[in-house]
Each structure stands twice: as structure tokens, then as C-alpha cells.
């Protein structure tokens, strides 16, 4: 699955979980002393958190005008 693909169903995730993961795996530039492997691992962590954030926002969006 790529970033551009989405799930058929919206994942039920809580705001508390998202905020906790965002603190634990912050989206920030790598430090100069990290190995390439460490950078890729952190990139994967952040991608998962971003996916969960998008799914949370989809689940909680308000439809206006229906």
C-alpha cells in the first residue's frame, strides 16, 4: 500500500492515540548523527502516524450542505 492508497473503511482511531503517537514519533528533520537506516525507520514511523491522522480526520469530518 502506498501513501496515495486508502483503506476501504475508515480506521477507528482516537484523538488521544494520535496525539500520543505524534509526541512519541515527531515529524522533524533528521539529526546529523543518525544513520541512513535510522532515518528510514523514523520515516516509516512518521508515515504511519500521518496515515492515522488522515483516517481520524476522515472519521470526524463534518459534511455540510447535505
| Confidence class for position 51, pLDDT limits 50, 70, 90 | very high
**pLDDT score of 63 more than 80:** no
Dihedral angle of Cα 22, 29, 59, 9, to the nearest 10 degrees = -110
Give how far the C-alpha of residue 52 lies from the chain's centroid of Cα atoms, to the nearest Å. Answer: 4
* Region 39-63 average pLDDT: 89
Of the two residues 6 and 36, the one the predictor is more confident about is 36
> For 12-48, what is each residue's pLDDT tens digit?
789 999 999 999 999 999 999 999 999 999 999 999 9
Amino acid at each position: 500500500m502506498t501513501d496515495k492508497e486508502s483503506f476501504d473503511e475508515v480506521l477507528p482511531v482516537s484523538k488521544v492515540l494520535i496525539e500520543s503517537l505524534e509526541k512519541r514519533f515527531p515529524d522533524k528533520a533528521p539529526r546529523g548523527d543518525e544513520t541512513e537506516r535510522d532515518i528510514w525507520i523514523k520515516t516509516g514511523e512518521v508515515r504511519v502516524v500521518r496515515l492515522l491522522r488522515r483516517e481520524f480526520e476522515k472519521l470526524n469530518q463534518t459534511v455540510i450542505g447535505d
